[in-house]
Structure formats: structure tokens, C-alpha cells
Structure 1
């Protein structure tokens, strides 16, 4: 399983392409690719968003589902989803509306 992630160009915020067709600040609701066709579609979406100067550092990342929540397999991606590891009062982890992935 893979999801599409990037950084929003105008503020650098880590974002994920969602099932709602938009780049979202929360990992929850990310569009999950489970087959080659969906992976190809997400790659196309990422390339178009990059070309339109919406996002940078577009990447498909490996994820798994744990208790119904999306969990990135790599620690780096878990940290991007939550925020800095040295300050729990900063980043996404400080926002109650965004679930913590790390």
C-alpha cells in the first residue's frame, strides 16, 4: 500500500493527497493505492501538482493500516506526519484536530 506525500510550496507544510481530491495536512483520509493502476494515477497527480507549483518533494511512500489508521512504515514519514520529536507543542502533534501518526 502506498500514499502520495509532498510539501506544499507556499509554506513547506507536509501534505498528503486525499480521497477528497485535495492535498490535506492530515495523514488520515489519504488516498491509498493498493494496485498498479492506482499507483500510476497517484504518480500522475503528483507530477501535475509539481508542474503547477502547488507542491515539491512529491513521493509515494509505503504505509500499512493499524487499527484502521494509516501508519507510514518509515520513521521519517511518521515524524513528518506528527511534527518535531523534540517539542510536542509544535507541529501537527500540537493540533488537536490532526491525529498523531508517530
Structure 2
């Protein structure tokens, strides 16, 4: 499983490519690319996002299901998805906690 990630230019936030070319703020909402055809289409959307100067640095990452949740496979990408490892009250990990409370 793969998806496309980037940084949004307006605020530098980490985003992932959702269906139909929209950029989403949580990896759980990302478009899971299961075929070469999906990857080709996703890379076209990513290129368009860069050309419109909405995102920068698009690239594919590997995903996995862990404990029933979609997450990046690599540690680097998990940190990008969650936030700082030393301050759990910051980043997307803090937002998730507030939404679930």
C-alpha cells in the first residue's frame, strides 16, 4: 500500500493526497494506492498540486495497517504524520486526542 505526501506551501503542514486530487491533513484520509494505474493518476494530481504552488515536495510513501489504523511504515513518515516525539501535546497527535475526548 502506498500514498502520496507533501508539504502545503501556505503553512508548511504535512498533507496527503486524497481521492480526486484534494489534499487531506490526516494520513487516515489519504488515498491508498493499490495499483500502478492509481499511482500514475495520483502522481498526475501531485504534479498539478506543485504546479499550482499548493504543495511542495510530493513523493510516494509506504503504508501499513497497524492495530486497525492506517499509518506510514517508516519512522520518519510516522513522525511527519503525528508530530514531535518529545511533545505529545503538539502536532496532529494532539488534535486527534482533542477530537476523541
TM score, norm. by length of structure 2: 0.89
Deviation of 1:20 (Å): 6.1
Gaps of at least 5 residues in structure 1 are none
Cα offsets for 1:18-63 (capped at 9, x unmatched): 1364211111121011110001111111111001000001111011
1:52 and 2:52 matched: yes
Change (3 A) 1:2 1:68: same
RMSD: 1.6
The number of equivalent residue pairs is 98
TM score, norm. by length of structure 1: 0.88
Gaps of at least 5 residues in structure 2 are none
Higher relative helix content: 2
